Structure 1
Amino acid sequence: MFVDSHCHLDRLDLSARNNELTSVIDAAASRDVSRMLCVAIDMEQLPYMLQTVKRFDNVYASVGVHPLHVADGIPERAFLLEYAADPKVVALGETGLDYFYSQDTVELQKESFIRHLQASADTRLPVIVHTRDAREDTISILRQHADPEVGGVLHCFTENWEMARQAMDLNYMISFSGIITFRNAEALREVVRQVPIESILIETDAPYLTPVPFRGKPNEPQYVVEVAQCVADIKGLRIEEVAEITTNNFDRLFNKAAAK
Structure 2
Amino acid sequence: MIRHFFGWERTPFTKEISTDHLYLSERFKECVARLHYMVKTRSFGCVTGDIGSGKSTAIRYLRDQLDLHKYRFLYLSDANLRPRDFYRELLHHFGLSPKFLRSEAKRQFQHLVWDLYENQKKVAVVVIDEAHLLQGDMLQEIRFLTNFQIDSVSPLALVLVGQPELQATLQLRVFKPITQRMNVRFHLSGLDLQETRAYIEHQLQVAGSTHPVFTTEAMDAIHAHTRGISREINNVCTACLLDAVLRKDKLIDAMHVARILTEFKEQ
Q: Shared topology, TM-score over 0.5?
A: no
> Which is higher, the Rg of structure 1 or of structure 2?
2
Q: Which structure carries more strand by proportion?
A: 1
Higher-RCO chain (CA-CA 8 Å, sequence separation at least 6): 2
Which protein has the bigger helix share? 2
TM-score by length of 2: 0.32
The two structures have a TM-score, normalised by structure 1, of 0.33
